[in-house]
A = this chain, B = another copy of it.
Amino acid sequence: MLIVYHYPICPISRKLRIILKEKKIDFQLVLEKYWERRTEFLVMNPSGVTPVAKFPDMTFALTGNSALFSFLEEKYPAHPLISQDLEEKFEVRRVTEWFDVKFYNEVVKYIMNERIIKPIVSKHHLEPNSSMIRAAKKNLAHHLDYIEYLLHDSNYLCGDIPTIADYSAAAQMSVLDFTGDILWNAKPKMKEWYALLKSRPSFRPILEDRIPGFAPPDYYSDPDF
């Protein structure tokens, strides 16, 4: 069976778990504390980051982000998560990349590292760096306006059916929701969109994730928030 090395609060690990469920591909999860830089893990992925996907019939492990997801989509064309039309496909990939790279690097990375990873790694529950959190939240406010704009005339980010862009976005947002950094009521379209995604069976395991020492807000697990 496919083995997925993940960390619960890693957004790309979350995206992978959601997408495998949506594509009905069975897998087994292995918890990987990537900062411990386990030798066997580094052999599979010298970059040292989660997620890593290892199929039993392949000699190498799948790593990366868009490379990994393009591979899955091409190897398992059933339950497609992207249109076959070239221009629609471009838009889905563009929005996906926007969340995976820009939104992650300007917002999620700082909030996740400062609020969760740093206290765990340091073992001293270090306080988050407030200027980093402030900068990330300033970027976040700007980016949430863009998300609301993308949803202004559709239920999902790239039209009226969910695509890999929605799962990529929701995986990133779920990390910020875990840390309590999203004020949902300020963005009604976005809230409606996230509620639709939250209620999908593929999302349920994400909502059950817990990290010792950290409590998400009560509404984190509630599809009716």
Contact = CB atoms under 8 A, between A and B. Distances in A.
Interface string A24-63: 0000000000000000000000110000000000101011
B67 A94 contact: yes
Interface in A92-151: 93-94, 96-98, 101-102, 105, 146
A24 B11 CA distance: 38
Interface stretch (A2-10, A69-77, A174-182, A191-199): A69-77
A217 interface: no
A54 B24 CA distance: 38
A105 B105 CA distance: 9
A127 B46 CA distance: 34
A102 B47 contact: yes
A149 B188 CA distance: 50
Contacts of A66: 66, 93, 97
Contact of A87 (B58, B65, B94, B105): B58
Given A86-B74, A87-B58, A105-B105, A46 B93 contact: no
A195 to B, nearest CB: 26
A146 B66 CA distance: 20
A127 to B, nearest CB: 23
A97 B46 contact: no
Given A66-B66, A68-B94, 17 more contacts: A58-B87, A64-B98, A65-B101, A67-B90, A67-B93, A67-B96, A70-B70, A70-B89, A70-B90, A71-B86, A71-B89, A71-B90, A71-B93, A74-B86, A74-B89, A101-B101, A105-B105
